[in-house]
Chains A and B, each alone.
Chain A
Amino acid sequence: MYMAKYIGKRVGLMIITFLIIFVTCFVLIKLLPFDDTAGFGQDTEKIRAQFRARGYYDPIPQQLVQYLRRIFKDGDFGIGFNIPEYRGRYVWDVFVEKLPPTILINVYSSLIAVPIGIALGILAALKKNKWQDHVISTGVMVVISVPSFVYGSLLLFLVCFKLDLLPLKMASFAEIIKAYPAENYVYTPGSANWPLFFNQKMFVSMLPAVFAMSFGSIAGYARFTRAELTEVLTSEFMLLARTKGLTKAQATTRHALRNAMVPIFPSIVGEFISVLSGSLVLEKIFSIPGVGGLYLSAINANDYDFFMMLSGFYLLVGLVASLVIDLSYGVIDPRIRMGAK
């Protein structure tokens, strides 16, 4: 009951926080001057008439009310105006279409990175100060020190170009439809097109980016797990567990790992949620049509509708993530209960 009250309170606070930040973003972006001057051989009046018709010269509070009414009444987040690649397209459609590759690459990357990273961390902790630990720790340091775009470029050059094991770019939907005529795949612009992602050709074409993205995560999880587990393994309750008659393996899996997971699990959740913003550099290197860079483009281009939709989305994701992470502590460790007596 107390937990339900706590969640309700957090959700309420979350909504208030969301509204305050969302409105602030709207006002701030609208306060920025926009360029309504004509280019070479253009009619300034026509450009201003277009801005006027879009309501850009209306008072900001009026624009805010109209914007919110559009969203709540019609579910209309607006139409792209200034980002060259998405002019005239519904911003929500663009986002929805670009989100799946970003999510999938990060999910695949997490599926590889989490078990391998944690396994390496456990091995290093269990073999602390032995050669296995030294090899893993050194490898981890090297990988962490090198930025991901370096792995990306190396992978592309060695694995995709020199060894020709994987394709140089992600497959297009047209290629997938052509490769699997029996599947009757249909590409619908402006929607997620999930079925088109779940086939061998698409999966393989995503692998270079998945591998490049997973290296850093593997190293991160390995280092974190090693540090946490090493600390737990030296705790007194582990000694107690052994003296109770548990084997080392039993004590480690039943007690040490579970305790070590308390900080590790939220970091997995946090990283997983942060992937929704995509990786600007890796998506560029591997020609992934994801959302990485979309937010930056919206800010640089002063594209209000894109900026507001993305701000709202990431803000919501961030707030939900923090709530989920807080609640996850209690799930992993029963001793942690918010306000329980």
Chain B
Amino acid sequence: MKKLLALVMALCMLCGAAMAEGTSAQEGVYTYNDYLTLSPSNWNELTYQDNNDTEIMSYIGSSFFTYDFKFDEYGEIIPGEFEIIYSAATALEDVTAKYAEAWNLPADGKGYAWKITLRDDLKWENGDPIKAEDFVYTMSEQLNPLFQNYRADSFYVGSTIIANAASYVKQGQSVVEDNSATGKYTVADLVKGEDGVYTQPDGGKISFALTTGLDWCGGKTVTQYSAYLDADAFAALQGLADENGLVAVTDDTIALVTKLIDTDNWGHEPPENVPYYMVYEFTYGAMDFSEVGIFVGDNEYELVVVLEKALDLLKEDGTLSYKAAYNFSSLPLVHKATYEACKIAPTEGVELWTSNYNSSKETTMSWGAYKLESFQSGTQFVLVKNENWYGYGLPENEGLYQTDRRVVNIVKDWNSAWLMFLAGEVDGIGIDVSVADDYKGSERAYFTPSDFVSSMQLQSNVTELKNRETEGINKSILGYADFRKALSLGINRADFTTQCTTSSKPGFGLFNSMHYYDVANGGVFRNTDEARQVLCNIYGVDATQYASLEDAVDAITGYNLDLARELVTKAYNEALAAGDIKETDIVKLTFGTGSITEAVTRQVNFIEDSWKKMLEGTPLEGRLEVEVLDFASAWANDFRAGKYDVCMGGWTGAAWDPGYFLLAYLDSGYMYSKAWDTANTMMTFTMKGVAEDGGDITETMGLLDWYACLNGTGKYDWSSNGLPQEKRLQLIAALEEQVLQVYYTVPLANSFSASMLSYKVDYITYEYNTFMGYGGFKYMTYNYDDAQWAAAVAEQNGELNYK
């Protein structure tokens, strides 16, 4: 017993000694203690995949141009406004005219070639100088075809397309091109071989495609539209197709395709359209990196970038436009010697080169405000000031960047992190719903809006709904739009956000207050009359009854049990008449998720209770069952494939380009409601005042065609380059309404995250600025240094009160 006592005492002494060691906080040092649930793994700009990786990456890099707060004459931040400032660059010049001939740019074009003049004092953390050639080298590695780097497509997909970047990355690759998308060949262009099979002029294969998605068919395949086409011709072509659904082009098959598309249901397409059903093989040839549009300019600090799509990075007055910081804030940069040393050659059976650059302390090099002091995967990393960063010497940064160190612990359990926050060991944390009631009102709480609209997705694949029915179990009723609308109206969004989220607010549209249709002028889409009218139309609010559209929108709750019950009854009777439901059937809806967490369970329970209440007094009262299944990482693809009925999902990104963002709801490559045929869902729309004579243009087209117009690839160029934003938003609003009114996507909540900041630090503002957030480390100020903070926490007996 004595020995045991001695052992316990020794253990306590050890603990005490260890604790004493841990309190060696320094005076005059300002440390921001943070936590993450997942450890970053790869903060290499060329290959990073997660936001988690930016937790290091964004601190060790710099920008040519960056956003900043706009201050008034008294030094106060002007809410919602911003300015763009030069940072690592000192000048930006449109040099399109100079390089137009050499790079085949439009002679009178603007915004295709840009010269960036770099500061001459840019350095790596080890003191190595940074010049334009470093950016050129990095881009050659970014686009290196041997690596197929994850971020390579950032420079040939989207808005920043460097000339010939795609061809360089894909050299040696054979791809199948859609002739209807490229418009490359007519039948006359093809060469007929001795065997009667047509080929491309260079001998490459060309075929009719039965099972390949074609641009001409709105991304869908000929087989998917076979019901509208000539049955005999389709059967004959199917008989000739190979395992990939490709049919050789011969005189016979040309005749068959001509017959195939010449039907009433297909609109009697003329024979000239036959090539639109062809695909051809294309192999990218070898090329030198010098043919890619990035090179050193007239001196070693001048970097020239040639683009395939023009960008207006400068305003008329020559100052930086918001796109300079949005599309062109920086280009990737790696430290050449370190990067070369980190290359990993392919091994047995693998052809891919990889790299472990920026994946540990030893392989990391910074040219940003902070550098990596230590990194231990799964445990902790520490960033400290990079004394070689050019920014610390700038007069405009005097008094800023007070943070000396950022210590980030990896804490997977929120409850553990919360205790660390209350013990003063973590300085910022998100508020979990379990403590929200106690801490939402804290003076240290703040709320950050997000562009994410949490939405309920309802299954669009009627065939799969039917296939998954069993005796007595019905799912087909979900195929009725009235039923889906009733499910939407049966949810009280205000209660949903209060009970199931920490701080989100009811959401009604695809877009929320974070989506800007006109960034330069601060134009928020949701605040326009067009967008407001959409919500009034969808939720049945008569705007004429209110003083303004804004008031009408404020009155929307999205909750109407009476109307929901009417709609359920109507849908049920129609389904009964059509034989889609029996009087004894139970409607069983399966919720799918990536992981059945407490939050998911809470949401599903709320929705189930809401729906059961909504069904009271209808023929489906007491006949609804809801189950939740875990589909792990395949949850989204499984939903798209029609394997279950309901999921919660939404999209984030492109918040400053809602016209592009609609892709998520209209393109089958992204849509949750994949079975909804947006190519053939027709919409008649009038764009006011855009005809050559100043009149309106009215036309009926498929939704995808309208989307193409909105993004400059359709019949009309109504992209931001071709039309003023005020006009474009008419079409954005019309398309939003089309998506909402089919009720496959039911918006429920506009996401807000609630967070707490410790007494140790303060942001410069607690009013969220879309462009600057709360100012970040640049503007963060400290109320205590490390030693003072340790003393303050000790004074509170190691337990801080934030209520």
Contacts and interface: CB of A to CB of B under 8 A. Distances in A.
Contacts of A184: none
A245 B284 CA distance: 95
B380 interface: yes
A257 interface: no
Interface in A16-56: 35, 37-38, 40-43, 45-46, 49-50, 52-55
A157 B377 contact: no
B379 A35 contact: no
Given A42-B153, A54-B350, A73-B348, A201 B377 contact: no
Contacts of B380: 172, 174-175
A289 B376 contact: yes
Interface string B218-242: 0000000000000000000000000
Given A69-B348, A161-B419, A161-B423, A53 B157 contact: no
B153 A85 contact: no
Interface stretch (B16-24, B94-102, B120-128): B16-24
B499 interface: no
Max chain A CB contacts within 10 Å: which of B15, B351, B360, B797? B15
B287 interface: no
A86 B410 CA distance: 14
Interface string A200-212: 1101110100000
A156 interface: yes
Interface string A63-94: 10111011001101001100011111100001
B495 interface: no
Contacts of A179: 21
B477 interface: no
B491 to A, nearest CB: 27
B379 A55 contact: no
A126 interface: no
A89 B41 contact: yes
A203 B40 CA distance: 26
Contacts of A285: 413, 415-416
B746 to A, nearest CB: 21
B47 interface: yes
B22 A284 contact: no
A87 B38 CA distance: 12
A153 B418 CA distance: 12
Contacts of A189: 360-362, 375-377
Given A153-B415, A204-B19, 7 more contacts: A38-B669, A40-B651, A54-B350, A79-B344, A164-B798, A189-B360, A204-B15
A15 B350 CA distance: 28
Contacts of B307: none
B15 A35 contact: no
Nearest to A174: B374
B153 A46 contact: yes
A62 interface: yes
Given A49-B173, A84-B41, A170-B379, A284 B412 contact: yes
Contacts of A168: 416, 419-420, 423, 425
Interface residues of A, number: 73
Max chain B CB contacts within 10 Å: which of A35, A164, A203, A286? A164
B376 A173 contact: yes
Interface in B150-199: 150, 152-153, 156-158, 166, 169-170, 173, 175
Contacts of B359: 88-89
Contact of A289 (B351, B378, B653): B378
A287 B798 contact: no
Interface string B31-60: 000000011111010010110100000000
Contact of B349 (A58, A79, A160): A58
Given A85-B41, A174-B374, A174-B376, A165 B15 contact: yes
Contacts of B152: 43, 46
A167 B16 CA distance: 10
Contact of B18 (A58, A174, A201): A201
Nearest to A290: B378
B14 interface: yes
Contacts of A52: 351
Contacts of A69: 348-349
Interface of A: 35, 37-38, 40-43, 45-46, 49-50, 52-55, 58, 62-63, 65-67, 69-70, 73-74, 76, 79-80, 84-89, 94, 97-98, 153, 156-157, 160-162, 164-170, 172-175, 177, 179, 187, 189, 200-201, 203-205, 207, 283-287, 289, 300-302
Contacts of B166: 43
A37 B637 contact: yes
14 contacts: A38-B669, A40-B654, A43-B152, A45-B170, A45-B173, A46-B153, A53-B352, A55-B350, A70-B348, A70-B349, A189-B361, A189-B377, A204-B18, A287-B411
A262 to B, nearest CB: 28
Contacts, number: 199
Nearest to A285: B413
Contact of A49 (B170, B410, B412, B799): B170
A226 to B, nearest CB: 20
Given A86-B377, A165-B15, A70 B351 contact: no
Contacts of B669: 37-38
Q: How large is the interface on B (under 10, 10 to 19, 20 to 34, 35 or more residues)?
A: 35 or more
Contacts of A66: 348-350
B632 interface: yes
B716 interface: no
Given A49-B173, A200-B14, A84 B49 contact: yes
Given A69-B349, A201-B18, A156 B419 contact: yes
Contacts of A79: 344, 354
Contacts of B352: 50, 53-54
A203 B14 contact: yes
A156 B415 CA distance: 10
B347 interface: yes
B38 A85 contact: yes
Nearest to B16: A165
B360 A50 contact: no
Max chain B CB contacts within 10 Å: which of A67, A80, A97, A172? A172
B670 interface: yes
Interface string B370-386: 00011111111010000
Nearest to B353: A53
B590 interface: no
B253 interface: no
Contact of A88 (B41, B175, B382): B41
A85 B39 contact: yes
Given A86-B41, A169-B409, A174-B373, A46 B148 contact: yes
Nearest to A205: B18
B378 A98 contact: yes
B243 to A, nearest CB: 15
Given A40-B670, A84-B52, A157-B419, A97 B153 contact: no
Contacts of B422: 161
B664 interface: yes
B362 A169 contact: no
Interface string B652-674: 01100000000110000110000
B634 interface: yes
Interface string B397-434: 00000000000011111011001101101000000000
B416 A156 contact: yes
A251 B146 CA distance: 74
B356 interface: yes
Contacts of A43: 152-153, 156-157, 166
B47 A88 contact: yes
Nearest to B360: A189
B584 interface: no
A172 B379 contact: yes
Contacts of A58: 349
Nearest to B670: A40
Listed from nearest, the 3 A-B pairs whose CB atoms lie closest are A66-B349, A289-B378, A172-B380
Nearest to A188: B362
A287 B41 contact: no
